[in-house]
Amino acid sequence: MRETLRPGPRRLLAALALLAMTGPSAGPADAAGPRWRVERSHGYHVHAIWGSSERNVYAVGETGTILHFDGDRWKELASGTETTLFGVWGASERSVWAMGKGLLLRGDTAGWKPVETGIRERLYAAWGTSERDIFFVGFNGTILHFDGRRFEVQAGKPGAGDRGSGGPWLTGVWGTSPRDVWAVGSRGTILHFDGARWSPSPSGTTRTLAAVWGSSAESVWAAGEDGTILHWDGSRWSPAAASAPGILLGGLWGSSGKDVFAVGTAGTILHWDGTRWSRMESGSDRILTGIWGVPGRTVLATGTLGTILRFGAGSAASGGGAAGTAATPVAAGTSVTTRETLNGIWTAPDGETWIVGGSGTILRGDGTRWSASDPGTKAYFRALDGSARDAIVAVGDAGAIVAFDGERWAATESGVTTALFGVAAPSKSEAWAVGAKGTVLRYDGTRWHPVPSGTVASLNGVSASGPLVLAVGERGTILKLGDGAADPMPSGVSWALRDVWCDPDGGAFAVGDVGTILRFDGTAWTQMKSAMPHNLRGVWGRSASDVWAVGHEGTVLHWNGTAWSRLKNGPVQLHSVHASRDGQVLAVGAWGTIHSVSATTTDRR
């Protein structure tokens, strides 16, 4: 069970920015220079941001949220919808566009009105040269062009369905002119428009690309999954050296070719100074998904739970607290004892529940009260599992593995430096760990051994029940693990799979992007109808007829043996699910969230 956010319908979009206080490049701040500070830290997720000036900035997000900054304070505007808005872009200060699921709005501070496009596809981003030349991109490879009077579908298959069978998700678009436009998306997709037609451009990767930005026709950047950053030099795309493994970079923005920013999960902000990429301290561990700035003045980044960060000049009051201070937003029904992202949860046979997360966070409790347990490291933990109170294993970034013997945690040598995303520990003498670049490790009671996986795809989850051990990962990868072997199994999907749970009867359930849910009957995998298209991150069950799945937008799904139903539990992203001693089902996620979910508030829409 892992935390990593992936783009998909939930998209990752955005970027970070620069601040040139006196020179051509802001660069990472030093002790005496400008720093990122929290300007707003409450409310629904804010996915994207755009402005025409420092005093006219728009940010959009969950439940139809539209925020406007007038240079002094942020104010929420009436959008007339509760549909999630993924992107915002303006042709001028009086002509701003906001886009979402089957919805396109046009307006400004005076009001917003829906615009009929002729399609009902999700739209994620927009870019244009003027009011009469705007490109919108979205689900099923959709590229929509507006010429000032009418909309034309230039690419993709709008309406092909929520599973994206019509083409890749396109989540970023940028250009230099009407004859030089780039669009990026899932599966490493990069498309280029030359004024007449869209054509693919080889990216050299199959990783999702979530954002694109450039300083000229000869210098364009694309960023996305697992810290991937690509650069176009006018003739080809090539990978850039940037150290952000396991991070989904959702946004790009810059003021020049020597001053570019990328933002992503876990509060990640990277800066390009014309020579190299380096990390900046953001002061936040939230998922950052949007970015925009004013060269030489200020940069704004947006993210989950209403987060807005500012770098450089200017300040604002949000109506809920002073700039530069962070509230601790807590959705109804949650209990928070830490602000770290929580990625994994497991309950021991004795009834004690354990939770792991960022910065070495390990919590233990009874489902109501929680206390910290010191692992002796600040590793970013992704998952945990065990067979007894004195046989618990947690894994995380940089090959981190720690084991609990009933009294204390101790580091265990993994033999790898890649991030580990999932662990299954069915007994004291057997455990499995999986991670980036197809990493598979097996524990034999004495030490960990590498197991050839036959794939370089990241493996995101692993589960074991009796002799059945299964691992799932990117591009629909499913492996059946055994003695020194990893046998591939056909999944029938190309989406990333994020987690897997083996039931006691020899079957299994796997979940992943775009609401993907697969079921294994002991012989073959089949796809199930999930009730929601949101990305799913964790799955667990008591039996084959009592299974829970959690994911983006606080999604909680329950399988009763006949059908999946959805439960409403708030906007916080959830990463893992398990039951506590008293039988309540708990889900953990972003910003220290611990949800107690109930099967009595079913939403079957």
Q: Domain spanning 342-603 has what CATH number?
A: 2.130.10.10
Task: Record the pTM.
Answer: 0.54
Distance, CA of 403 to CA of 411 (rounded, Å) = 6
Residues 327 and 561 sit within 8 Å (Cβ to Cβ): no
Q: How many CB atoms lie within 10 A of CB 378?
A: 12
The three-class DSSP label of residue 403 is: strand
Q: Where are the alpha helices (DSSP H) in 9-132?
A: none
What is the structure's pLDDT at 454?
93
What is the structure's pLDDT at 34?
67
Distance, CA of 226 to CA of 264 (rounded, Å) = 10
Distance, CA of 312 to CA of 383 (rounded, Å) = 37
Residues 381 and 357 sit within 8 Å (Cβ to Cβ): yes
Hey, do 44-246 and 342-603 end up sharing a CATH topology, with the first three levels equal? yes
Residues 98 and 84 sit within 8 Å (Cβ to Cβ): no
What does the CA dihedral 121, 124, 129, 134 come to, rounded to 10 degrees? 10
Amino acid sitting at position 122: R
Please identify every stretch of the chain with a pLDDT value under 70, giving residue numbers as ranges.
Answer: 1-34, 41, 159-166, 242-243, 313-339, 531-533, 553, 568-572, 581-582, 591, 598-605
Distances (CA, A) of 551 to 3, 10, 350, 532, 569: 10, 10, 28, 10, 11
Amino acid sitting at position 260: V
Distance, CA of 93 to CA of 58 (rounded, Å) = 10
Q: How many CB atoms lie within 10 A of CB 37?
A: 17
Residue indicated by tokens 């629909």: 476
Report which secondary-structure segment, H or E, holds 259. Answer: strand 259-264
What is the structure's pLDDT at 9?
37
Each domain of the chain, given as residue ranges in start order, spans 44-246, 342-603
What does the CA dihedral 319, 322, 326, 331 come to, rounded to 10 degrees? -20
Distances (CA, A) of 299 to 71, 261, 415, 471, 484: 13, 10, 41, 41, 51
Distance, CA of 395 to CA of 399 (rounded, Å) = 7
Pick the CATH number of 44-246 from 2.130.10.10, 1.10.3720.10, 3.90.950.10, 3.90.420.10: 2.130.10.10
Distance, CA of 306 to CA of 329 (rounded, Å) = 9
Burial class from Cβ neighbours inside 10 Å (0-12, 13-18, 19+) for residue 586 reads buried
What is the structure's pLDDT at 495?
82
What is the structure's pLDDT at 31?
37
Report which secondary-structure segment, H or E, holds 355. Answer: strand 353-357
Report which secondary-structure segment, H or E, holds 172. Answer: strand 170-177
Residues 169 and 211 sit within 8 Å (Cβ to Cβ): no
Report which secondary-structure segment, H or E, holds 175. Answer: strand 170-177
- What pairs with residue 154 in β-bridges? none
Residues 352 and 581 sit within 8 Å (Cβ to Cβ): yes
Distance, CA of 162 to CA of 170 (rounded, Å) = 14
Evaluated on CA atoms 474, 477, 479, 485, the torsion sign reads negative
How many residues can be counted in the chain? 605
Distance, CA of 222 to CA of 203 (rounded, Å) = 9
Distance, CA of 428 to CA of 373 (rounded, Å) = 21
Q: How many CB atoms lie within 10 A of CB 498?
A: 31
Backbone φ, ψ for residue 327 (5° rounding): -80, 170
Amino acid sitting at position 511: V
What is the structure's pLDDT at 525?
96
Amino acid sitting at position 346: W
Distances (CA, A) of 199 to 183, 196, 205, 338, 375: 10, 10, 17, 47, 51
Amino acid sitting at position 534: H
- What pairs with residue 112 in β-bridges? 107
Could you read off the pLDDT of 115-155 as tens digits, one per residue?
A: 999 988 899 999 999 889 999 999 999 999 999 999 999 99
Distance, CA of 4 to CA of 420 (rounded, Å) = 11
Region of residue 31 (left: phi > 0; alpha: psi -120 to 50; beta: else) = alpha
